[in-house]
Amino acid sequence: MKTTLTMIAGSALALAFLAAPASAQVPRGTCLIADPTGTPLNVRASPGGRIVGNLYNGDYVVLRTTSRDANGRAWGLVGGTDGSTHGWVFREFISCRN
């Protein structure tokens, strides 16, 4: 039951972000961390590589590029809105605004 509630909360967070009015203080091209598991999202040195940090639901990042691993899963290279680079995250767990 706890997992179901976490997934619903994560989905609601992503929907709220995507439905935010254009006048909100969220820059275009910014993505919201929306991991449905409710756990910190691992940031990796490469797609599927070693863990170098974590991001949390509600954190904002900028998607720099995407790639696929050997299993065909999508990954995104993300960074901070200040131009810094964090690393690679599982693409499915970020919601991006164009």
Among 22, 39, 38, which residue's Cα sits nearest to residue 30? 22
Report pLDDT for 28. 67
| Segment 78-87, tens digit of pLDDT | 999 888 899 9
Condensed to tens digits (0 to 9), the pLDDT of residues 59-74 reads 999 999 999 999 999 9
pLDDT of 42: 96
- CATH for 2-96 is 2.30.30.40
- Residue 18's alpha-carbon distances to 48, 53, 68, 79, 85, in angstroms, are 27, 25, 24, 19, 23
Give tens-digit pLDDT for 42-64.
Answer: 999 999 999 999 999 999 999 99
66: left (phi over 0), alpha (psi -120 to 50) or beta: beta
